[in-house]
Amino acid sequence: MINRSLMLKLLSGLIVFGAWEIAGRVPISYAFPTFLESMAALARMTFDGTIFVAYGETLRPLVVGVAISAVFGIGIGLWIGLSKQFEWLFSPIFIVMQAAPLAALIPILVMIYGIGLTSKVFVVCIMAMPVIVLNTASAVRNTPVSLKEMATSFLAADRDVLLKIILPAASPVIFSGLRLGVSAGFIGAILSELKITPTGVGDIITYSRSIADYPSMYAAIFSIILLAVLFLNLLEKLENILFEGNNRGYVSD
Amino acid sequence: MSQIKPDARQAIPATDSAVSVRNVSKVYGDVQALKDLTLDFPRGELTSLLGPSGCGKTTLLKIIAGLLPATSGEVLINGRAVTGPGPDRSFVFQDFALMPWATVLRNVAFGLELRGVAKSEREAVAEKYIAAVGLAGFEQKYPHQLSGGMRQRVGLARALSVKAEVLLLDEPFSAVDEQTRRKFQEDMLELVQNEKKTFIFVTHSIEEAVYVSDQIAILLPRPSRVSEIIRPASFRDKGVANIRRDPEYLDIVDRIWASLRNYVE
């Protein structure tokens, strides 16, 4: 069975990359390189170290922003989920944040915080935080009542109910919020490098495009997608290790 | 010795009750769920609360558990008034209330975990009760890997492992299939014999109540009050296999149905 699922993954990779290769060879546009050209460019950038320098630059706002969003997002989400007052106070802010067109807000951020790291971290947070907050809040609010009653009847303190019932029960939805938040954070990090100042991977994309080195541009885009997918898989592994019984859903009847 | 606590000796009533419900009322908004309800639960016996749906039997059980506050009146456990959940009572839930992320072992030991009992000690106790309810070998399984009946056995083992004096069971067998249910009922009789605890058992099944109970309290709805208390006398010692064809058993089942039928819509 494991071999079969691995086969299917390889097959779907083959189809996608094959289609890319063919589309590049036709070619559908002069600005669209083949898969092999892009991979060659990626290998070249990997061996001369450009890509690592670029990620050193890009990952800084990304990691800082995602870390802030995860910690504060889950914290604020818990608070909103537990208290009706805080729901009234905070919930609208995050709904507006989620709906706002980020590109339009970037000039305001640059005016306030300049073109440095702070603005970029802000962009990542604005992208990542709302979905983490809103998912956490709704997960906490939907904790099964009978589990909370069970803990109370067995003499759980409020702290025990929070740590041993509400958090583990909410963890599947919190983690799905984290996954969405992290992928939005990746978008935010690249967007900030394209819109604020071209650094890191955003710089490779902008620069290669300006000198018509399309294979390098697509290689950079491909690498960021690859990194995002790897990171999301890692997050899923972490969840399965932390809450083993949860991955097959709830048992109530 | 007899000179030391004369008052305490006098205070023990003729029939010793572990739990006494005194004039309890419960109002939800403008709905009167329980009205001036008084009931005694004899020590070491199993008392069923039986009645049509909406008669407030689960509400009464949760008030005894300390999960719900009574609007007026009081519940006494060994003479002490209930103000919240306590170590003297444990609860078995209708929907099992097992933590899906925890193994059978951790679920059963959870009550002791919350009391701060050391890991090795509480797991030893939990293993003993897992074996007692017939789930030896399933300690490391997760709830989703068990059948409905087995899940409720986990719930029962959890309630037993905290060694509470009073066991509160809220329609514990309503979510399991008929055959498992009959086995459970037989096991219940054995449990009452062996464990020397006071059992309070909520059910909507007349046969089940008559089969397992030493005392049956019939509750009538809107607002809920105790209409009758029945104590089966003769068939308890005749063996689990003979109860269902005992004439007294059949008479009591008929009598209860006659008084409840007007309240079933």
Q: How far apart are CA A188 and CA A178, in angstroms?
A: 15
Sketch out chain B's domains with CATH numbers: 28-263 (3.40.50.300)
Q: Do B85 and A155 touch (CB under 8 A)?
A: yes
Report the residue of chain B nearest A153, measured CA to CA.
B85
Residue A76 φ/ψ region, left for φ over 0, alpha for ψ in the -120 to 50 degree band, beta for the rest: alpha
Q: How confident is the model at residue B11 (pLDDT cuts 50, 70, 90)?
A: very low
Q: How confident is the model at residue A247 (pLDDT cuts 50, 70, 90)?
A: low
DSSP class per residue in A176-219: HHHHHHHHHHHHHHHHHHHHT---HHHHHHHHHHHTT-HHHHHH
Annotation: CATH topology of A36-240: MetI-like fold (1.10.3720)
Q: Which amino acid is at A175?
A: F
Which alpha helices (DSSP H) does chain B contain, by range? 6-11, 57-65, 104-114, 119-132, 148-161, 178-195, 206-212, 247-260
Q: How far apart are CA B226 and CA B49, in angstroms?
A: 9
- Confidence at residue A246, expressed as pLDDT on a 0 to 100 scale: 63
B169 and chain A: CB distance < 8 Å anywhere? no
Question: Phi and psi for B221 in degrees, rounded to 5?
Answer: -90, 170
| Length, in residues, of chain A | 253
> Is residue A252 pLDDT above 70, yes or no?
no
> Tens digits of per-residue pLDDT, B215-228?
888 888 777 778 88
Tokens found for residue B254: 């008929």
Q: Which helix (H) or strand (E) holds A223?
A: helix A214-242
- Confidence at residue A251, expressed as pLDDT on a 0 to 100 scale: 37
A155 and chain B: CB distance < 8 Å anywhere? yes
Mean pLDDT, residues A71-87: 89
B172 and chain A: CB distance < 8 Å anywhere? no
Q: Do B66 and A153 touch (CB under 8 A)?
A: yes
Q: Which helix (H) or strand (E) holds B217?
A: strand B215-220
Mean pLDDT, residues A38-56: 90
Inter-residue contact B202 to B39 (CB < 8 Å)? no
In angstroms, what separates the C-alpha of B253 from chain A's closest C-alpha? 29
Q: Which amino acid is at A106?
A: I
> Is residue B152 pLDDT above 60, yes or no?
yes
Q: How far apart are CA A194 and CA A104, in angstroms?
A: 14
A252 and chain B: CB distance < 8 Å anywhere? yes
B197 and chain A: CB distance < 8 Å anywhere? no
User: Counting beta carbons within 10 angstroms of the beta carbon of residue A140, is it exposed (0 to 12), middle (13 to 18) or buried (19 or more)?
Assistant: buried
- Confidence at residue B154, expressed as pLDDT on a 0 to 100 scale: 93
Q: How far apart are CA B151 and CA B38, in angstroms?
A: 34
Q: How far apart are CA A79 and CA A85, in angstroms?
A: 9
Q: How far apart are CA B174 and CA A53, in angstroms?
A: 64
Q: How far apart are CA A241 and CA A246, in angstroms?
A: 10
Q: How far apart are CA A112 and CA B146, in angstroms?
A: 58
Q: Do A168 and B103 touch (CB under 8 A)?
A: no
Contacts of A166 in chain B (CB under 8 A): none
- Confidence at residue B15, expressed as pLDDT on a 0 to 100 scale: 61
> Is residue A149 pLDDT above 60, yes or no?
yes
Q: Do B142 and A245 touch (CB under 8 A)?
A: yes
In angstroms, what separates the C-alpha of B58 from chain A's closest C-alpha? 13
- Confidence at residue B204, expressed as pLDDT on a 0 to 100 scale: 86
> Is residue A2 pLDDT above 70, yes or no?
no
Mean pLDDT, residues B146-162: 90
Q: Do B93 and A253 touch (CB under 8 A)?
A: no
Pairing of strands B72-77, B80-81: antiparallel
For chain B, state the CA radius of gyration: 19
- Confidence at residue A84, expressed as pLDDT on a 0 to 100 scale: 82
Q: How confident is the model at residue A248 (pLDDT cuts 50, 70, 90)?
A: low
Report the residue of chain A nearest B142, measured CA to CA.
A245
First to last CA, chain A: 29
Contacts of A169 in chain B (CB under 8 A): 99, 101
Q: Do B95 and A244 touch (CB under 8 A)?
A: no
- Strand, helix or coil for residue B63: helix
Q: Do B90 and A153 touch (CB under 8 A)?
A: yes
Residue ranges per domain, chain A?
A: 36-240
- Confidence at residue B83, expressed as pLDDT on a 0 to 100 scale: 86
Sheet holding B46-50, edge to edge: B89-92, B166-170, B198-203, B46-50, B215-220, B225-230
Q: How far apart are CA B242 and CA B186, in angstroms?
A: 12
Contacts of B143 in chain A (CB under 8 A): 245, 251
Q: How far apart are CA B107 and CA B130, in angstroms?
A: 10
- Confidence at residue B8, expressed as pLDDT on a 0 to 100 scale: 42
Which residue, B15, B61, B77, is CA-closest to B224? B61
> Tens digits of per-residue pLDDT, B235-249?
777 777 778 888 888
> Tens digits of per-residue pLDDT, A5-24?
888 889 998 999 999 999 88
Q: Do A245 and B148 touch (CB under 8 A)?
A: no
Q: What is the pTM for the complete model shown?
A: 0.79
Interface test with A, best of B95, B112, B125 (most A CBs within 10 A): B95
Q: Do B144 and A168 touch (CB under 8 A)?
A: no
> Is residue B2 pLDDT above 50, yes or no?
no
- Confidence at residue B190, expressed as pLDDT on a 0 to 100 scale: 84
Contacts of B148 in chain A (CB under 8 A): 253
> Tens digits of per-residue pLDDT, B18-77?
888 888 888 888 888 888 888 889 888 899 998 887 778 888 899 999 888 888 889 988
